[in-house]
Chains A and B, each alone.
Chain A
Amino acid sequence: MKKRTVYATGADRVLSVFLNAFLWFWIVVIAYPLIYVVAASFSSSHAVISGKVWLWPVEPSLRAYRAVFNNGQILSGFYNSTVYMVLGTAISLVLTVLAAYPLSRKELVGGRIFSGLFLFTMLFSGGLIPTYLVVKDLGLRNTIWAMILPSAFSVWNMIITRTYFQTAIPDELYEAAQLDGCSDFRFLNRIVLPLSGPILAVIGLYYAVGNWNGYFNALLYLDASRLYPLQLVLRDILVLGNIDISMVKDFDEMVRKQGLADLLKYAVIVVASVPVMVLYPFIQRYFVKGVMIGAVKG
């Protein structure tokens, strides 16, 4: 540690002990359940049921994961969610940039009207039923578009992006490009986008996480289980407790299957959370910046 204790007084030391205790409290409280879930998922169902697992896998086994990856519904959910996430994030990024760039330019006559049009939707919305009817009337129910379009555009992300364009792209650059006869499309493509990696990464992450984690659109608009995203499959397993434990013959068998069902929940939690958690260290360095831009008044 650096020597900054020159100014430390008695009160300072008490305060720093207190703040450190506060930090450690939260680290333990947040990390422990996560560690426990991972440990339990790698343990045997017997060890989990009899409460032997506390911090480390007991009687290590991969049975739960084998069961997860043999479950057709989970696999199909995984596949569907990946498709929705990739396609949805791409469409969302295009829509967001197409709104954010023009709104960041002073040359857009009527820019205030457009801004007002977008901002008003943050203040007031039609609500659940009217939105449902629109989606239904467009014939989107039971198609993959019902999973992508209704939440494809976030005004909040658009404002963050616009603010970034306004602050990161100097006006002089735009004027110079204009004098050289560069069109707006070309300027966006060749200059703005290459300079906006950080913000695109951050809002891309937001959209991707939102797509991957959402279940409500699926609940509203999908009846066909072959289109179910992972989260809806997980809801069945984790929240409603519907795991297929059919063909149970005797009591011992039932106990064994029930044990596996409980174990399966832990493995499912890990499998569902890993894809997003893997994305985030890559984007972490942009993350704080992106959140901060969002806090700047739009």
Chain B
Amino acid sequence: MTVPSSIPRNRRGRPNALASMVRHWQLYAMILLPVVYIGIFNYLPMYGVQLAFKRFSPSRGIAGSAWVGLKYFQIFFTSPSCWQVVWNTLSVSVYSIAINFFFPIALAVALNETQHKGFRKTAQMITYAPYFISTVVMVGLIMQVLDPRLGIVNRIVVTLGGAETNFMGKPELFKSIYVWSGLWQGIGYSAIIYLAALSGVSPELQEAAIIDGCNRGQRIWNVDLPSITPTIVIMLIMSFGFVMSVGFEKVFLMQNNLNLSSSEIIATYVYKVGLINADFGFATAIGLFNSVVNVVLLVGANSIAKKMNQPGLW
């Protein structure tokens, strides 16, 4: 690297840090604004996490409120709704990870094996169009499609001689509706990443496999999939990082009084307790529990990946 000789250097011949900072002061001027931003909108709320251990009084503010220790955690862990809510959160997200893991990879492989370029492009475009539909519209769409009276699903069921069902009112169906509609919306988008990784598989490897007498199935299994394993692992770790933050927005909209026993997750519970009932301390405590589990899962998934000699997130 060529560095102008005017820059003062330290003993190891590197440019002096302070001099470099002065010289590149503009870099610091630039980053100042984003740093102030995360300071206000990310780190200030972290300071507010102490509310989990305090009885919040609006007049005294966060710092001035009285400490109550672990009281809120005790209340939460001994309440009957606690395990129901935790179970709903965990089961819906694990279900979702499992389904959203397999199908996008399969779709990417199928797209990659299509020789006809125009068809591949069209198929790709159609399959990722739903990604752009908003959560509100998506839930509206689900409700229209599953409507007991007018919904297309019930009309097909009735045409085939079945009885009308109120799908959205059945707690046992809630998780499946959530997960499979999520797959419908996200499969094409998730497949893009795998498709891009598949296009990077070395052609020499493919040719070698052909010469060795592999058929297409064997090539997919022995060449394609191992080549994209790092991408698959990273995507999987990331999805574990989001286990506890399952789409609040969608679950909240899909909730109704009939399916609440299986649709109440931690995030919606926090919203109701905290903002509707204005029990700030209690809601913060549950939120904190949620974040901590989230961090543990992410760190755990990452270290398992490292142990298996796969590249982790860090």
Q: Which residues on B sit within 8 Å (CB–CB) of A95?
A: 33-34, 37
Contact, CB under 8 Å: B234 / A295: yes
User: Which residue of A is nearest B15, CB measured?
Assistant: A107
Whether, in the assembled complex, A69 has its beta carbon less than 8 Å from a beta carbon of chain B, the answer is: no
Q: Which residues on B sit within 8 Å (CB–CB) of A107?
A: 20, 23-24, 27
CB < 8 Å A-B pair total: 277
What is the bound-complex CA distance between A185 and B25, given in angstroms? 10
What is the bound-complex CA distance between A297 and B165, given in angstroms? 47
- B:100-158 near A, CB below 8 Å: 106-107, 109-111, 113-116, 123, 125-127, 129-130, 132-137, 139-141, 143-145, 150, 152, 155
Q: Which residues on B sit within 8 Å (CB–CB) of A59?
A: none
Contact, CB under 8 Å: A33 / B145: yes
Contact, CB under 8 Å: B130 / A30: yes
Contact, CB under 8 Å: B115 / A2: yes
Whether, in the assembled complex, A98 has its beta carbon less than 8 Å from a beta carbon of chain B, the answer is: yes
Residues of A in contact (CB 8 Å), total: 100
CB contact under 8 A between A269 and B141, given known A117-B38, A127-B287, A127-B290: yes
User: Which residue of B is nearest A213, CB measured?
Assistant: B134
- Give the interface residue-count category, chain B: 35 or more
CB contact under 8 A between A121 and B196, given known A30-B130, A238-B136, A272-B134: no
Closest Cβ–Cβ distance, residue A264 to chain B (whole Å): 11
Which of A12, A34, A265, A292 is in CB contact (< 8 Å) with B129?
A34
Whether, in the assembled complex, A118 has its beta carbon less than 8 Å from a beta carbon of chain B, the answer is: yes
- A:17-55 near B, CB below 8 Å: 19-20, 22-23, 26-27, 29-31, 33-34, 36-37, 48-49, 51
Closest Cβ–Cβ distance, residue B187 to chain A (whole Å): 7
User: Which residue of B is nearest A54, CB measured?
Assistant: B152
Contact with B along A167-208 (1 / 0, CB 8 A): 000010001001100011100100000000000000000000
21 CB < 8 A contacts A-B: A4-B115, A30-B130, A95-B37, A99-B34, A107-B27, A109-B17, A121-B38, A124-B291, A124-B295, A126-B46, A127-B291, A130-B45, A133-B62, A134-B41, A175-B2, A214-B134, A239-B140, A265-B144, A269-B137, A269-B144, A276-B134
In the complex, besides A105-B24, A185-B30, A216-B248, 13 extra interface pairs with C-beta distance below 8 angstroms are: A23-B123, A30-B187, A36-B152, A105-B27, A107-B27, A117-B35, A127-B49, A129-B274, A129-B284, A138-B40, A188-B30, A291-B192, A297-B234
**6 nearest A-B pairs in the assembled complex, by CB-CB distance:** A126-B45, A238-B140, A130-B48, A127-B287, A213-B134, A99-B34
